[in-house]
A and B are shown apart, each in its own frame.
Chain A
Amino acid sequence: GDSVTQMQGQVTLSEDDFLFINCTYSTTWYPTLFWYVQYPGEGPQLLLKVTTANNKGISRGFEATYDKGTTSFHLQKASVQESDSAVYYCVLGDWYNQGKLIFGQGTKLSIKP
């Protein structure tokens, strides 16, 4: 079945550092890829959608790219701030079952002030 793998469980950076998080996916259909962010005590919220046509999405200083050849997608930010501390999930939209999102395991980002 469809799946998404997020290997980095935790990332610790200093303010103004560069952020890069990587995921891989597996699907027999056309992928729709998302990044969701979850702050403590809250539900996840959509950060970015990566469309296969454009292969890139940008929001709030974050940029998401997609590589069909390696079935991977990435989240990056040039300069992180303390307010970016959260858990980031890569998410695969189920093309066949339109209501279903498949979440990765999450990457907890901690920013040292």
Chain B
Amino acid sequence: EAGVTQSPRYAVLQEGQAVSFWCDPISGHDTLYWYQQPRDQGPQLLVYFRDEAVIDNSQLPSDRFSAVRPKGTNSTLKIQSAKQGDTATYLCASSPPGHSNERLFFGHGTKLSVL
């Protein structure tokens, strides 16, 4: 069974540039999460979806970050105008129906450096 796939693996930007991260969850998983993991810290939830609906985006900086999951499968997280403080690894995770936070499967992440 294929795991959660993320691309790209790495991204390097100048401040003010835009970037998009892409995630393909495990087939059949209805819930998809985006976490931000600063260096040497634990992951922090940004947003999560059940199917195509946003369930919680309260931690997503809405002025510059956006996330979509239009068909309830793949998802894209976009940073409109990156800042140095956005430097982190962005992790996507998915979980199967009925399990909510019981078991999350994480991808390898996208490591973002903003210069």
Contact = CB atoms under 8 A, between A and B. Distances in A.
B102 A42 contact: no
B101 A100 contact: yes
A54 B99 CA distance: 19
Main secondary structure of the interface of A (DSSP, over half): loop
Of the four ranges (under 10, 10 to 19, 20 to 34, 35 or more), the interface on chain A belongs to: 20 to 34
Contact of B56 (A42, A93, A99, A103): A99
A43 B106 contact: yes
Interface stretch (A44-52, A57-65, A74-82): A44-52
A32 interface: yes
Nearest to A45: B106
B25 interface: no
A6 B40 CA distance: 13
Nearest to A91: B42
Contacts of B95: 99
A89 interface: yes
Given A93-B101, A101-B101, A43 B91 contact: yes
A80 to B, nearest CB: 21
Contacts of A93: 101-102
Contacts, number: 59
B93 interface: yes
Contact of A89 (B42, B48, B50, B108): B42
A101 B40 CA distance: 18
Given A43-B4, A105-B41, A106-B42, A99 B106 contact: no
Contacts of A49: 102-103
A46 B43 contact: no
Interface of B: 4, 31, 33, 40-45, 48, 50, 55-56, 91, 93, 95, 100-109
7 contacts: A43-B93, A43-B109, A44-B104, A49-B102, A99-B95, A104-B42, A106-B40
